[in-house]
A and B are shown apart, each in its own frame.
Chain A
Amino acid sequence: MAETFIIIPGRTSRQGAGISEGKFKKNYQEEISQLQISPEDMQRLNLQPGDWVRVSSESGHIEVQIKPAKGGELPPGLLFIAYGDLSSRLMGADTHGSGMPTSKAFDVEMVALPNHKPAPAT
């Protein structure tokens, strides 16, 4: 069943260093393709690291693998993903007259995909 969360896309040092290495290289691609979730939410939803979930916003949806947030970084109800292609897919285009789309702390629905097989990379 889908549940509502608040997602925060943001910078991580691995994503930042990955930009210099190259955006098509492993470090950057791995870092922007993992959704962090609080260990409490993982336990409650019976999710394991590496499980696939679908995350949907008003503007789009992504399928992504999860990992637990470390060191109490995320309280229950919050998700984090490093800035990149996937986070941009969830972001709306409306800037409310500011030039800036609402890119952090917006609502998404998350649902587990227990039998998900990712499409082979093209």
Chain B
Amino acid sequence: MATAETSPPPVSEEFKIIQDATCTFCGCVCDDIDLKVQGHKIVEAKRACVLGTAWFLEHEIEDRPMCLIRGQEASVAEGIERASQILADAKYPLIYGMSDTTVESQRVAVGIGDWIGGLVDTTTSVCHGPSGMAFQGVGEVTCSLGEVRNRGDLIIFWGANPAESHPRHFTKYSLMPKGMFVPRGRKDRTCVVVDVRKTKSAKAADIFVQIKPRKDFEALWTLRALANGVDLDPEEVERETGQPYTLWTDLMDRMKAARFGVIFFGMGLTMTRGKHANTEALMALTRDMNKHTRFVCKANRGHGNVSGADNVVTWRTGYPFGVNLARGYPRFNPGEYTASDVLARKEADAAMIIAADPMANFSQPAREHLKSIPYIAFDLKETPTTRAAEVAFTVATYGINVPGTVYRMDDVPIPLRPAFESPNPSDLSILNGIEKRVRELKAAEGN
């Protein structure tokens, strides 16, 4: 190791098996993975999908400094001091990310946001933030993945491509499992995929509905009208949605006939023009369907603990993301207090980015502004965000090296079972250090 402040744990070269380890790469949070571990390397991840296998096998310990300040190697203590100074001195600091760490770390990060009177936003704002807004507008009729597994007989994926983003979704939860009320598994379920592209998921569907791009809202309202017995002009329906009226009436008949219908929706809805209006239409449709039968919906959440971020930020501030704590009480306003906006508008004057990569994923104006302000980055690996950071910490990997809790996409908390210890510090230990120091600095300011 380039920086060894504490002596690294002894490495045993014998194999050990970790049973029922938890994969935190995606929101499925599969907790049935058996790991074969040799020293500081996982050599096999039984039952993991292609993404989970890469997650477990590619997170060996890399030869990188634990802390860099302006690209120069520094001690973790120096990093904590510099980070605390940056945050305590800032007028409008942003804390962002948090979807790839434990709820224990998220809790401390929100606390720091409170002490410094900053903004707290998570990667939710650029994935299912619009769904969170829709949820506040019309509510969400939902259930756990266990209920889908045991009851779901009509499974609809809308603007979601789990075959590539959540590869075990079908086999573990939604299509293949034999459940209590669907004893023949896949044979007892009908799968419908609605998308603008014929994705890999579409190939797993019994019915693929290819709609016109940017017409999700119109298609969802077509179904809402049919669910509520409203007459529609068939020609207009086809012109707007790209699919014949009879396809929609047939789909509605199937939806009404289902015993337990489920709609999983993805970023095809939230990232396309309409955003929260699209997801609101879907949630309202789900509500409408409960006049006929049992119907639920669920966002396919991406990152391993993005649901945890929503939960933690909500129980700490009352709002799920995009929270401004500058006045000493929380205010919520997506578009005003969300990370992408405060960076693109050049408002934030410092930032702490935890397990996220806005330098790769944000718009160019947002990236340019982030690059121009002092910020702290926490990540497991080198990313465009850690490269441009004033203070960059290399942290141990949650779930592989660090214990804690994460929330699956259906808000079920799942414990982590780490495979081996890392010489790198956990983000929790660094965040605790920053919180302590920031409080001291803020208290001194008040005197």
Contacts and interface: CB of A to CB of B under 8 A. Distances in A.
Interface of A: 6, 8, 10-13, 16-24, 59-60, 71-75, 78, 80, 83-85, 88-89, 91-106
B135 to A, nearest CB: 13
A93 B364 contact: yes
Which of B53, B167, B200, B210 is the most central at the interface, judged by chain A CB atoms within 10 Å of its CB? B200
B198 interface: yes
Contact of B364 (A12, A88, A96): A88
B360 A23 contact: yes
Contacts of A16: 25-26, 50-51, 54, 164-165
Contact of B381 (A22, A102, A103, A105): A22
A106 B273 contact: yes
A17 B271 contact: no
A96 B265 CA distance: 21
B133 interface: yes
A85 B383 CA distance: 11
Given A12-B164, A23-B382, A78-B197, A104 B272 contact: yes
Interface of B: 25-26, 50-51, 53-55, 58-59, 121, 125-126, 129-130, 133, 161, 163-165, 167, 196-200, 203, 210, 213-214, 267-268, 270-273, 275-276, 302, 321-322, 334-336, 338-341, 344, 357, 360-367, 381-384
A8 B195 CA distance: 11
A7 to B, nearest CB: 10
A20 B273 CA distance: 30
Contact of B275 (A73, A75, A100): A100
B51 A17 contact: yes
Contacts of A60: 364
B363 A93 contact: yes
A105 B214 contact: yes
Contacts of A78: 196-197, 213
Nearest to B125: A99
A93 B198 contact: no
Given A11-B161, A78-B196, A100-B126, A95 B214 contact: no
B196 A100 contact: no
A121 to B, nearest CB: 15
Which of A11, A16, A21, A85 is the most central at the interface, judged by chain B CB atoms within 10 Å of its CB? A16
Contacts of A92: 363
B196 A99 contact: no
A96 B273 CA distance: 9
A78 B268 CA distance: 14
Contact of A103 (B126, B163, B198, B200): B126
18 contacts: A11-B165, A12-B164, A16-B50, A18-B54, A22-B58, A72-B198, A73-B198, A78-B196, A93-B344, A93-B364, A96-B335, A99-B125, A99-B129, A99-B339, A99-B340, A102-B271, A105-B271, A106-B273
Contact of A95 (B55, B161, B335, B367): B335
Contacts of B59: 20
Nearest to B339: A99
A98 B335 contact: yes
A96 B340 CA distance: 11
Nearest to A69: B197
Given A20-B54, A21-B54, A24-B382, A99 B341 contact: yes
Contacts of B55: 20
Given A93-B364, A101-B363, A105-B272, 14 more contacts: A10-B164, A11-B164, A17-B53, A60-B364, A73-B199, A95-B335, A97-B336, A98-B338, A99-B121, A99-B126, A99-B130, A100-B125, A101-B340, A103-B267
Contacts of A106: 273
B267 A88 contact: no
- The 10 A-B pairs at the shortest CB distance, nearest first, are namely A99-B338, A97-B335, A17-B54, A93-B344, A99-B334, A99-B125, A93-B363, A20-B54, A104-B271, A103-B271
Which of B50, B336, B340 is the most central at the interface, judged by chain A CB atoms within 10 Å of its CB? B340
Contact of B363 (A10, A11, A91): A91
A80 B268 CA distance: 13
A72 B197 CA distance: 9
